[in-house]
Amino acid sequence: MQLSHSRASVAFRPRLAVVLGTNEIASAVAVHLRRAGRGVVLAHDPLPPVLRRGMAFHDALWGDETVLEGIGAAAAEGLLAVLEASAAPERVAVTRLGLIDLMPLGRFDLLVDARLQKYAVTPDLRPFAIASIGLGPGFTADLDCDVAIETRPDRAGLLVTRGSTEAPDGSPPPLGGHGEDRFVRAGDAGVWRTAFPVGARVFRGQPIGRLDRTTVAAPLDGILRGLVRDGTEVPAGAKLIEIDPRGRWRVAWTGIDERGRAIAEAVVRAADRLARSARDHALSLTTPFPNRSPR
């Protein structure tokens, strides 16, 4: 019996990598893993809300066209759609299905937690995948993942094969001479509303949106580098706005930035190392049958 094109692509899918998160780091990781020959699905998590949407596949969940360095994204609602989209050339799947929802696909070849939930309780990723990688604070190699990777800008991409990644310091790196003051955070939980696009030019004090009944204004003159999507429910303390004050010719709000690339390249290196280790271990368990002379 001949399979349809879509079902045939599923039958012969590449090794499947599941990336938790749809933020800019998760998306950079997805691009590099897809280029390395893996099928990739990004599983959305609402916390924290995605800020740098111009650098992420996040908006594909709403049917928006999203392309990063030649790799596109397709929204997938069911398991078959996930497999089809993740196996398509030059494409990754983006889904609202969570880790538990994806478990019927079997044990993943690779699981990467890129949600960057710095202060949350870290789950043990290892039972879900042949190889697992945790990004950022809170991960400990050989305890809740096989390999952890630093995400702090001054240490981005460093592999941690023993012990834990560094704790968050709560201080964002300066950009155009501004640190925490280039962000606006939610004072309370609520529904965020805005009509602005990422990349818009704004001015200090200009209203950018509303959090329930509270007007939220730009803290600086500059470009909207980050902006939570309209209609998103956000928790108190979540970042709503990020301003890049450096001017139109130096601003970066699309594509993969230096930090994202360093982390993504480290994920590919770690994944390759873990795959080699798994193959070597399997070979070491293989004992050939001894030659026996007939009686």
Identify whether residues 212 and 154 lie together within a single domain: no
Instruction: Examine the domain organization and report whether 155 and 188 are in the same domain.
Output: no
- The verdict on 120 and 240 lying in the same domain is no
Q: According to the model, what pLDDT value does residue 118 have?
A: 86
Domain count, the chain: 2
pLDDT score for 283: 61
Boundary (domain end) residue, out of 149, 169, 189:
169
Instruction: Check which CATH number belongs to the domain holding 125 and give it.
Output: 3.40.50
Residues 64 and 155 in one domain: yes
Q: Is 255 within the bounds of a domain?
A: no
Let me know whether 135 and 10 are in one domain. Answer: yes
pLDDT of residue 1: 30
State the amino acid at position 287 in one-letter form: T
Domain assignment present for residue 142? The answer is yes
- Shared domain for 164 and 19, answered yes or no, is yes
Q: 3-state secondary structure string, the chain?
A: CCCCHHHHHHHCCCCEEEEECCCHHHHHHHHHHHHCCCEEEEECCCCCCCCCHHHCCHHHHHCCCCEECCEEEEECCCHHHHHHHHHCCCEEEEECCCHHHHHHHCCEEEEEECCCCCCCCCCCCHHHEEEEEEECCCCEECCCECEEECCCCCCCCCEECCEECCCCCCCCCCECCECHHHEEECCCCEEEEECCCCCCEECCCCEEEEECCEEEECCCCEEEEEECCCCCEECCCCEEEEEECCCCCCCCCCCCCHHHHHHHHHHHHHHHHHHHHHHHHHHHCCCCCCCCCCC
Same domain, 13 and 98: yes
Domain termination residue (choose one: 244, 264, 289): 244
Quick check: is 286 in a domain? Answer: no
Q: Are 164 and 215 found together in one domain?
A: no
Structural domain including 213 reads 180-244
In a domain, 292, yes or no: no
In a domain, 57, yes or no: yes
Q: Are residues 87 and 207 in the same domain?
A: no
Q: Residue 53: its pLDDT value, please?
A: 97
pLDDT in the model for residue 281 = 60
In a domain, 237, yes or no: yes
Same domain, 188 and 220: yes
Radius of gyration of the chain (CA): 21
Domain identity same for 54 and 187 = no
pLDDT at 175 (0 to 100): 85
Q: Give pLDDT, residue 45.
A: 95
pLDDT value, residue 172: 85
pTM of the model: 0.89
122 shares its domain with 47: yes
Which CATH number covers residue 199?
2.40.50.100
pLDDT in tens, the chain (295 residues): 333 434 434 444 568 999 999 999 999 999 999 999 999 999 999 999 999 999 999 999 999 999 999 999 999 999 999 999 999 999 999 999 999 999 999 999 999 999 999 888 888 999 999 999 999 999 999 999 999 999 999 999 999 999 999 998 878 888 888 999 999 999 999 999 999 999 999 999 999 999 999 999 999 999 999 999 999 999 999 999 999 999 777 888 999 999 999 999 999 999 999 988 877 666 666 555 455 444 4
